[in-house]
Amino acid sequence: MEKENQLKPTCREVHRLVSEGMDRKLSMVERGRMRVHLVMCTACTRFNHQMDVLRKAVRSTPPD
């Protein structure tokens, strides 16, 4: 059972990884776990897309 939990990341973990991915490069294992979850979870896929839109908007805003 422990090994099964390691293979299936939770939505909470994926949200954390999406957020951390904005500040640092995720490891190959982290990216893989996140991608597997995103294939199966519409809500997390939507969250990931929303964060991507937000990231792009912030980057395109000119500095003061």
Tens digit of each residue's pLDDT (9 = 90 or more) over 25-63:
999 999 999 999 999 999 999 999 999 999 888 888 887
Amino acid at the residue 17 = L
Does the pLDDT of residue 17 top 50, yes or no?
yes
Supply the pLDDT for residue 7.
66
Average pLDDT of the residues in 5-25: 87
Tell me how far apart the alpha carbons of residues 62 and 64 are, in angstroms, rounded to a whole number.
Answer: 7
pTM reported for the whole predicted model? 0.75
Tell me how far apart the alpha carbons of residues 21 and 32 are, in angstroms, rounded to a whole number.
Answer: 13
